[in-house]
Amino acid sequence: MGWTFYTDRHVQSYVDERAEIEKLCTYSSDLRETKLIKASKVGTTWYAAVKIIGSDAAPLEDKTYVLDADGSITIAAVFLTSYNEGCWGYKDM
């Protein structure tokens, strides 16, 4: 996949970047929820631990991954970041 750049220039500092990474890692629906557990920036790359939690009505079931004791899955997310002509962008992996 390609890069996503924000053209409104609202991301201009480390704090702004961290807030965007948290937004990208946070999701909620009737079936599941994701939330950022920890994020760290090394150079221009953000590394994040994200917890995926199933709802009471639809618990997570996965034959590929081992569920945590609370029935959740914790994954790693990597975000390459860059500034291009003053606009911040990311490529998630």
Q: Quick one: pLDDT at residue 15?
A: 96
Average pLDDT of the residues in 44-70: 87
CB within 8 Å of 4: residues ≥ 6 apart: 89, 90, 91
User: Which residue did the predictor score with more confidence, 87 or 58?
Assistant: 87
Average pLDDT of the residues in 51-69: 83
Range of the domain at 87: 4-92
Give, for 25, the enclosing helix (H) or strand (E).
helix 14-25
Average pLDDT of the residues in 14-34: 95
The total of structural domains in the chain comes to 1
Percent pLDDT > 70 in the chain is 99
